[in-house]
Structure 1
Amino acid sequence: MELCHQISLVAGPIITALFIGTVSYPIMFMILACTFFVGTLFVLSLHSHSNTKDTTSESTTDSKARSYFKEIVGGIRFTYSIPILAIILTTSLFTNMMFSGPVNMIIPIHVNDLGWDGSAFSSLITSLGVGMIVGGMLTGLFKGFRGKFMLLPVILGCMGVGISSYYFIEELSFGLVSHFLIGMALSMTNIPFITYIQSTVPANMLGRVMSLLSLMSVGFGPVSYALCSFLLAKNIATPGHLLFFGGIIFASVSLSLFFFRSFRQMEQHPNWKKPAMEEELLPATLSS
């Protein structure tokens, strides 16, 4: 799923760059609307199949009795009662706050200030997507960095340095390299952390924990945009300064993971240490 998402990040900017020079914006938005409509048809074709035989009457009654709000509160309490989950989600909150605004909002402004055009920005986004694909492949090659999680803060720290480097970039080629390395680091850290959560969290709590992770990584993006907009509107900082200091904060928060014993010992979890026999049998199971 991550690779499919990353491939779309590569194909999208390339197609957009071609459209910018050939069609008008109204036609581009019409094409966009059509793609969303086709996507809707695919979503409508999906069906959820539940096996009622595997669900006991007690669990069914219990699930009906609990309200949705109580389930959310229960998920939050469960997540923050386990130190390593709390550390992962809190780190995700701060790193995405420093990533969403500076990269998704400030870089286009910085590109414009450098005098580059829309095609240059599309090339940067394409480079980011290619880096994510390569990073995803490397993550699979190294088996999700199992047994090497101490490398993840270093990779995240390098990602922060890549964001800060935009303050010094004046040539497009350097921007493409920086975007490529940021994309690689993004995949090489996101996939192992998500895999770890899915491997260690009980099945009955997994959906709520993953929802909280999505909230931390995506839901607070608008907060980052608002903060960056405020700093720019009040002339407190320039786009270059936001990229520079945002990257430094990003790297500092990432490297601070080394100070937590729960993080240093996270791979000692019994569900994570057990032999990956089920993963080896997965292709045969799918084919049957």
Structure 2
Amino acid sequence: MIGSVLIYFMKIPDRDTEEIFNEQTFWETFKEGVIYVNESRVLQVVVLTTIFINLFLVGPMSMGLPLFVKNILNGNAMDFSLLEAGVAVGMLIGSVIIGVLNLTKNRGKIALISLFVSGLAFALLSFTTERWVSIFMLIIFGACLSATNIPFTSAIQSMIEEKVLGRVMGLISLASMGLIPVSYAITAFILSLGISIHYIMAGGAILVVMYTFFVYVNFQELRNVD
């Protein structure tokens, strides 16, 4: 909320041109973004994929990992820190690999395959009982998550017209960040029913794997995005 207020009061310097910019309300720009996304089947699937990742992976991981360490691994704060570090190291490795490869072709296919593998790694994590195996799974998970986000983002930005780029990326960010608290609430509710955290983590991961497989098979236009 504080960040939103600060952004609201940012002043854009006047340009030395005679162009006249029509001021639009938030809802007008938001509506333009929604209309633009609705006109593209690829962007619709991207938004839906973002929703799936944040609902069924990010929430269970962020909220469930401390419980997983305590209840399944019988670990302590140091074990939790090592698992968290595993995710960070994996994301760094994935980012470096994608940066070195400098992908310009088959970015949609690579992103979907990486998302599929990340879901598998997270599902396997939920059934591990050894600390080093859990860290290894999280390294794979983090690397594949980076290998999903970076190609997807760069490919989608290259497809969107510059005049609506901010609106559409803002909508995708809203679908991403805005649903994380919802994911926390869902995870907390399921936990309150007495279901073990490793079943929740496995269930979310399996749903993401099934969804990714469905998209890969049925949405050729996203699979073929360069």
TM-score (ref. length: structure 1): 0.71
Match of 2:15 in 1: 52
Match of 2:162 in 1: 203
Counterpart AA for 1:112: K
- Uncovered stretches (5+) of structure 2, i.e. residues with no partner: none
Deviations 1:90-111, CA, capped at 9 Å, x for gaps: 1110121111221101121111
Rg larger in structure = 1
Q: Percent identity?
A: 25
Task: State the alpha-carbon separation in 1 of the partners of residues 18 and 54 from structure 2.
Answer: 38
- Pair 1:183–1:145, CA change in 2 (3 A): farther
Q: Name which of 79, 99, 109 aligns with 2:37.
A: 79
Which is richer in helix? 1
Q: Name which of 144, 147, 150 aligns with 1:191.
A: 150
Task: State the alpha-carbon separation in 1 of the partners of residues 30 and 18 from structure 2.
Answer: 21
- Pair 1:193–1:261, CA change in 2 (3 A): same
- Pair 1:55–1:154, CA change in 2 (3 A): farther
Q: Which has the higher contact order (CA 8 A, sep 6+)?
A: 2
Match of 2:51 in 1: 93
Match of 1:142 in 2: 101
- Pair 1:54–1:206, CA change in 2 (3 A): farther
The 5-angstrom pairing of residues 1-288 of structure 1 reads 50=13, 52-53=15-16, 56-57=19-20, 60=21, 63-64=22-23, 66-113=24-71, 114-144=73-103, 146-235=105-194, 237-258=195-216, 259-267=218-226
Task: State the alpha-carbon separation in 1 of the partners of residues 112 and 18 from structure 2.
Answer: 41
TM-score (ref. length: structure 2): 0.89
Task: State the alpha-carbon separation in 2 of the partners of residues 203 and 54 from structure 1.
Answer: 20
* RMSD over equivalenced CA pairs, Å: 2.1
Counterpart AA for 1:257: V
- Uncovered stretches (5+) of structure 1, i.e. residues with no partner: 1-39, 268-288
Deviations 1:176-227, CA, capped at 9 Å, x for gaps: 1011111100111101111112222112211111111111111101111111
- Pair 1:146–1:51, CA change in 2 (3 A): farther
